[in-house]
Structure 1
Amino acid sequence: MAGTVAVLKTSPVRVGGQLDESRAYFHRLFWTFPPCIEAFRHCKPLISIDGTHLYGKNGGMLLVAIAQDMNSNILLVAFALVEGENAESWSFFLSHLREHVTQQPGLLVISDRHNGIKAALEAPDGGWLPPSAYRAFCIRHVAANFALTFKGKDTRRLLVNTAYAKTEVEFHYWFDILRSEDPAMCDWANRIEYSLWTQHCDEGRRFGHMTTNISECVNSILKGVRNLPVCSLVKATYGRLAELFVRKGREAEAQMGTGQQFSQHLVKCIEANLKTARCFTVTVYDRDNSEFTIAETTPTGSFSLGSYRVSLASQTCDCGYFQALHFPCPHALACCAYSRLT
């Protein structure tokens, strides 16, 4: 396909201690396709990166970059075949990913805590340092590491609940439970910067995404390809992505044909929030700046505050959902209805 990016890196061959310039070993390969590059421009400003083992006779790893659109569709946007996970292989993948696919500023990179990823993202000339890009950890990997030290039945769940908390109040609720189980658990968690693993400190960059989605990608796109030779594997990714783009394109055309201009996922969330928004009493706090206070007439969740401050101008709410998910929470929708905003 015209516009396909493929970067091949080889290693020299030595015979009897002498360099044989007529031959070379396959070392690494990065590739991506034009539709993936174009599609990423319309996805959320975040990327998940991960690696999965290859089962062929030559072994190695397949590194992937995963995006997601506002309709919750996942999309593999770049690939690399490498010898394994290390600083050099991740640097090879991430440098070409940045150059060819993810050129937008302010991106969030979700990954595990592998030292090779850390070294590649923190390289001064890599283009992945703030404010050009930010990093967050996949909570599934963090919880797996946590469970290696703390074996209790519910300890992993408590850490995950702490990470998913969207407000400081909810975070401390779960963190205090964790401390009551074993103070050492909190000491372990405190060794990781909060912005890397907790949702309430991510400044909304995660869009609610706490994992890398690698298992879903393996099942949907990569199933059955990890034992293939190099050329066959690359062709398989092309074929399966082509099929995906055709199917999703037809779905989008059918949706647009019925007059639906917004993503179905977003519409369903807004409709659900509108039903809840009827349970509030709205008071204007500052009309000029579109600030309100919301009082619940019916509890709406486990961490109900009873009263919330909402700013439509800054798109914030005390519940944390507006900031974390980037669409109006029930409290914000109640304010919109009160102000006759549609």
Structure 2
Amino acid sequence: MGKKGVLLVNLGTPDSPEVPSVRKYLDQFLMDERVIDIPKFNRTLLVKGIIVPFRSPKTSKLYKEIWNENGSPLLHYSKIQAKLLQEKLGDDYHVELAMRYQSPSIESALANLKAGLVESIKVIPMFPQYASASSGSVMQLVMELVSKWQTVPPISFINSFHDNKQMIEVFAENARKHQPESYDHVLFSFHGLPERQLLKCDHTGSFCLKSSDCCETLSDTNKFCYSAQGHDTARLLAKELGISKENYTVCFQSRLGKEPWVQPYTTDVLKKLAAEGKKRLLVFSPAFVADCLETLYEITVEYHEEFKTLGGEHVQLVESLNDHPKFIEALEEMVKA
């Protein structure tokens, strides 16, 4: 029998931190109909006419701050994750890595699996919490590409792993290095989404955002809700570390535009905690499985500086899953499930 194919897909990264590469990356990313889910004509005007031309130089400077001898940290750790998973699974499996945007492409990774004559493909979008703009986009593109093949092998997808026990344990281990008890408050800061994208995931049309606590408990109604899954991840992490509910806050970073995004915003929470006299904050970013721009710069630099300006003293990032052996074991279990 042939090998079993595994496709790991993360979000993506520019090929270099220079403006042309960043422009190319942002253009592909933001033109995705699931990322900016407005009519194509409006999206094209917004992305190509406003966002990409003005944002590319600024974003390029940020990428230059985190770029190192290994290149992009996200791509560096993703390659290691794929390599370690291949070693863990052995010769009966063929593991490929892809990025939803830029290189290596999903199309090329699928072509490699096809050329390898795999008997099946398991796709793992590397986003713990499901969102249409991340996991959903990966699934859509994979199905579109494979639908053009003359022979379509069995394909399965991991929808989310927001409550994965080993993932929770890795984040908790990383947090213990910083002595969580020495901090005044803990933040679980997730990447933001427009509220309209949450509303679209409510198939009943009568639950999402109808109350201030609709995301705090996972149910059949909101089981695919990004915010609800994020709250569940935070609850499990807090339980693992013995952090009481009053000592942590779930919040959302990386807003774009003026319309309402999922709240509370991380910047607003920083202001509130500073006003309460909190000085030291420990921050998790559990929407990412590898450290990247949002963790290494947005939290470590921007939020730290913002909090100090507000009167705080220190914002400490809890490192991501990166190349932790226990996370590779978690991926192995997902593959074999």
- Higher relative CO (Cα under 8 Å, sequence separation at least 6) belongs to 2
Instruction: Pick the structure with more strand per residue.
Output: 1
Instruction: Pick the structure with more helix per residue.
Output: 2
TM-score class, shorter: under 0.3
Instruction: Provide the TM-score with structure 2 as the length reference.
Output: 0.25
